[in-house]
A = this chain, B = another copy of it.
């Protein structure tokens, strides 16, 4: 696959983040569980938005953030996701295009507005998210660009795609197209509650359709049903070619046919906002994989990108990750 048009093609929920600071009391009052993502309907979104402080709007979506990271490393990316033809949809499209990521999915002309994720950052730098899926519910198999998928080294899918009703079919179809064309399929489990909502589906995916799995500890435990980390690792080992398990400050563990590699986290001078840590870890890892690096170096690139994103507000990189990689990991043969 040396002539691939894209290193990574991502499919995800196209979302604009509305970021604000909040305290623990606010989370409690509004029934939000710290560190998790909760789905909310439009009425609840309006109610929560009205209660929260001034916000900053910035393009987001787990997979969108990852694709922004891949592009920032210098990778060639494409994105498939659904916005509406409204102002926030235009913002989302502008931002991902401005990074050089191809994004040609047609905007919905009617129906719900572009999705919003209300991101509440507490003083401990944790983020708690409430997502109104909006136009994302319209994503279906008809939105897939089969030619682009065939011409990508890896297709990357976010687990959150199992929440909107028709995206699951798109998800499975994309994996099929990619595999038939000789490409790989990567999946992130996204969120432990999301895993609980679609557990059997995800287990089937990991067993039969996924080559590269991303998960954090909580997601891995939810998937395997094991409350012990080592047991959960043993359970998932061998089910897909590569599994990258992130452990926050403990770094990450990469499981392959050759065994397990543990890579420490990159030190961060100030932890500001953990939003996007997993998304950017995946970005570094996927960029490394599609540029010939081994598992440990992929994990180091992931750790580098995650360290950048948690040192500031927001889930998209503020500096060129290509430049940062050259400065901080010059020994990588890229």
A52 part of interface (Cβ distance < 8 Å): yes
Complex Cα–Cα for A59 and B50 (A): 15
In the complex, which residue of chain B has the Cβ closest to the Cβ of A312? B313
Selected interface stretch from A86-94, A195-203, A245-253, A324-332: A86-94
CB pair B57 A98 closer than 8 Å: no
**B95–A54 touching, CB < 8 Å:** yes
Chain B positions within 8 Å of A98 at CB level: 52-55
- Within 65-105 of A, Cβ neighbours of B (below 8 Å) are at 68, 86-88, 91, 94-96, 98-99
Question: How many chain copies?
Answer: 2
Contact of A54 among B53, B88, B94 (CB under 8 A): B94
The closest CB in chain B to the CB of A59 belongs to B54
User: What 1/0 flags go to A110-129 for Cβ under 8 Å of B?
Assistant: 00011000000000000000
- A55's contact among B52, B55, B95, B114, by CB below 8 Å, is which? B95
A87 touches B113 (CB 8 A): yes
Query: How distant is A122 from chain B, measured CB to nearest CB, in Å?
Result: 15
* Chain B residue with the shortest CB-CB distance to A90: B49
A255-296 residues at the B interface, CB under 8 angstroms: none
B91–A55 CB distance below 8 A: yes
- The 9 tightest CB contacts between A and B, nearest first, are A57-B57, A54-B95, A87-B87, A54-B98, A53-B98, A56-B58, A87-B88, A86-B87, A56-B56
